[in-house]
């Protein structure tokens, strides 16, 4: 491998790691504080939980439709950018609007953009790394956890300076920068995947059971994560400005696992790795 190829290789890896860092920094800046903000402006716990459930259902319905459209038109990068733009718009609404209906729209917008953008961004990253001889997905993914943890720590300081509004503006800024960095992904694949004439292989029934269990598990995790910080603030007396420290600790625990992932996963079966990750 010549020197130019080595430089290009490292440049791509750095940009991918930077994108992971920035996108999760945007999420880490605001996600621990969104429900605290909603409580602060008078939203009830019942309404917050209802919005989380509605958002999960909307994401379940809309994400496959949008992904299928992107598959047909080869617009995966554009869809990823649209998800990030939706997150930017939601944060701007949080920072500027006091109309309850518009804030509800922003909450739902976060629900239908954050998780799909993380999934699609990881898929695009895996595609970019597929040509690498060395497994490094875990190393790149560790920067996402680092971005979340760093931004959450910073959020506590920013909250003391400018309150919730400054957090939302900063989250919007990180997401906006991520849109530009996302140009590391090709606008369209150079070669369109060939469709096979062979009959599609029937999926096992267990596949659909796994999908359903995954959906309910993720919905439970998201709701518990959402109310965790409200519980810490209201019931345990943790100051709002210190919530970011707890969020950073949660994200920081993931970093060693991601770093080890590249060396461990090739040695175990996929099912074993999946079960271990769930546990």
- In this prediction, residue 190 carries a pLDDT of 61
Select from 257, 238, 264, 219 the least CA-distant residue to 32.
238
**3-class state of residue 45 by DSSP:** helix
Pairwise CA distance, residues 254 & 20, whole Å: 14
**Position of tokens 């994200």?**
251
Those residues with Cβ within 8 angstroms of residue 68's Cβ, 6 or more apart along the chain or in another chain: none
Residue 88 vs residues 64, 84, 178, 270: alpha-carbon distances, Å: 22, 6, 10, 35
Pairwise CA distance, residues 78 & 82, whole Å: 6
Those residues with Cβ within 8 angstroms of residue 186's Cβ, 6 or more apart along the chain or in another chain: 77
Contact 248, 149 (CB under 8 A): yes
Render each residue's pLDDT in the chain as its tens digit; 279 residues: 455 444 455 677 888 889 999 999 999 999 999 999 999 999 998 899 889 889 888 988 899 999 999 999 889 999 999 999 999 999 999 999 999 999 999 999 999 999 899 989 988 988 887 766 556 777 888 899 999 999 999 998 999 999 999 999 999 999 999 999 999 898 876 655 555 555 666 667 776 777 777 777 777 776 777 688 888 888 888 998 889 898 999 888 888 888 777 677 667 766 666 666 666
Pairwise CA distance, residues 3 & 258, whole Å: 29
Pairwise CA distance, residues 66 & 138, whole Å: 27
Residue 237 vs residues 215, 225, 240, 242: alpha-carbon distances, Å: 32, 17, 9, 10
- In this prediction, residue 6 carries a pLDDT of 45
pTM of structure = 0.85
């Amino acid at each position: 491998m010549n020197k130019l190829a080595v430089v290009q290789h490292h440049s791509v890896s750095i940009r991918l790691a930077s994108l992971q860092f920035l996108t999760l920094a945007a999420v880490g800046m605001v996600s621990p504080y969104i429900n605290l903000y909603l409580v602060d402006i008078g939203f009830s716990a019942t309404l917050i939980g209802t919005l989380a459930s509605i958002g999960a259902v909307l994401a379940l319905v809309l994400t496959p439709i949008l992904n299928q459209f992107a598959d047909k038109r080869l617009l995966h990068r554009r869809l990823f950018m649209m998800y990030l733009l939706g997150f930017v718009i939601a944060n701007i609404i949080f920072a500027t609007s006091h109309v309850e209906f518009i804030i509800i729209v922003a909450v739902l917008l976060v629900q239908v953009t954050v998780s799909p953008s993380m999934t699609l961004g990881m898929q695009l990253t895996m595609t970019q790394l597929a040509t690498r001889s060395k497994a490094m997905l875990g190393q790149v993914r560790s920067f996402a956890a680092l971005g979340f943890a760093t931004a959450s720590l910073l959020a506590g300081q920013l909250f003391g300076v400018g309150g919730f509004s400054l957090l939302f503006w900063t989250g919007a800024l990180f997401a906006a920068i991520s849109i530009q960095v996302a140009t590391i992904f090709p606008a369209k694949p150079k070669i369109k995947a060939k469709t096979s004439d062979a009959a599609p292989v029937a999926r096992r029934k267990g596949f659909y059971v796994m999908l359903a269990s995954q959906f309910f598990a993720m919905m439970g995790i998201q709701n518990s994560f959402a109310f965790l910080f409200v519980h810490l603030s209201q019931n345990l007396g943790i100051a709002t400005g210190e919530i970011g420290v707890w969020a950073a600790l949660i994200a920081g625990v993931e970093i060693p696992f991601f770093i080890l992932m590249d060396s461990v996963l090739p040695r175990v079966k996929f099912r074993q790795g999946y079960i271990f990750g769930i546990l």
